[in-house]
Amino acid sequence: MSTDTRTQDPDGHGAPVGRRLLLGTVAAGAAALVAAPVLRRGLEAGLGAAADRDPTGLTGLLPNGGGFRYYSVAASVPERGPADYRLRVDGLVERPMTYDLAALRGMPQTRVVRDVQCVTGWRVPGTSFEGVPVMRLLDAAGVRPEGRAIRFTCFDGTYTESLTLPQARRDDVMVALSMQDRPLEHGHGGPARLYVAPMYFYKSAKWLSGITVTREAEPGYWEELGYDVDAWVGRSNGRDDAPTV
Ligand SMILES: Nc1nc2c(c(=O)[nH]1)N[C@H]1C(S)=C(S)[C@@H](COP(=O)(O)O)O[C@H]1N2
Ligand SMILES: [Mo]
């Protein structure tokens, strides 16, 4: 393990920026060519402090990952499948619900094809996700009037995320059960992860186990460390790539 005092855990958060750029270039090849300017722009825009704490948990490239990188802030995560996977919907709702995999698979599925974009720069173009819109689960539970936001929790026991209610109700926000037309594998957060298509990939919490309706959006794992809670791709975390209309 590194003796760098900025390294806070085994996944290498806080690795010096220079080393991270080098690693990215070596490991990600062509993807890094795309990534570097984005990251630099972020740094120039004052993202330095957050980026210093970054590598957002990179622990290696996924085999056959097609450009994906494997991230987990937890050292190990148990595998869950049809027998023991559960998704709990609770908090400020009329009817708390618990779903198993069969129940989720039995619901109408939605499909979204978008570029996956990590805030550190790597990108996987044209990636399909299929699953149950979060909106449907919220409607089934009945959000109470004081519910304004969602907290997402994970069975890795560590990671959390949040969305405002209007964000969670978008039709491109789902509990994803498959990716690239295959059941979501453990490494990618299977059997079910959150997928927030319009935001940086850190919003897409892997190994999803809880959807809790709250009064206000609470910063998630990386957001406590400086990333934006509203994580729109190209319009957050120091970037402003959106064309002005
Ligand atoms: N539970 C959990 N979800 C997570 C993370 C994590 O460390 N733990 N990392 C996030 C980050 S920073 C990214 S880029 C993506 C990576 O997803 P992948 O491992 O499928 O490539 O997952 C996000 N969701
Ligand atoms: Mo990330």
Residue to substitute in 116, 124, 204, 225 for testing ligand 1 pocket (most ligand atoms within 8 angstroms of CB)? 204
Q: pLDDT, tens digit, for every residue of 76-85?
A: 999 999 999 9
Q: Which ligand is nearest to the CA of 205?
A: 1
Write the CATH number for 150: 3.90.420.10
Beta-strand relationship, 97-99 and 87-91: antiparallel
- Tell whether pTM > 0.85: no
- Number of domains comprising the chain: 2
Question: Do residues 101 and 158 share a domain?
Answer: yes
Question: Do residues 95 and 51 share a domain?
Answer: no
What band does 60 get if pLDDT is binned at 50, 70 and 90?
low
b/e per residue, 141-174, with b = 16+ CB within 10 A?
A: bebeeebebbbbbbbbebbbbbbebebbbbeebb
Does any domain span residue 5? no
Q: pLDDT, tens digit, for every residue of 95-154?
A: 999 999 999 999 999 999 999 999 989 999 999 999 999 999 999 999 999 999 999 999
Task: Tell which residue, 211, 120, 136, 203, has the closest CA to residue 169.
Answer: 136
Question: Do residues 57 and 173 share a domain?
Answer: no
Does any domain span residue 3? no
Q: Which ligand is nearest to the CA of 159?
A: 1
Assigned token pair, 6 = 């900025």
The parent domain of residue 44 ranges over: 10-61
Task: Tell which residue, 167, 224, 229, has the closest CA to residue 195.
Answer: 167
Question: Do residues 93 and 55 share a domain?
Answer: no
Question: Do residues 52 and 168 share a domain?
Answer: no
Question: Do residues 54 and 91 share a domain?
Answer: no
Give me the residues paired with residue 126 across strands: none
Does any domain span residue 75? no
Residue to substitute in 54, 59, 70, 71 for testing ligand 1 pocket (most ligand atoms within 8 angstroms of CB)? 71
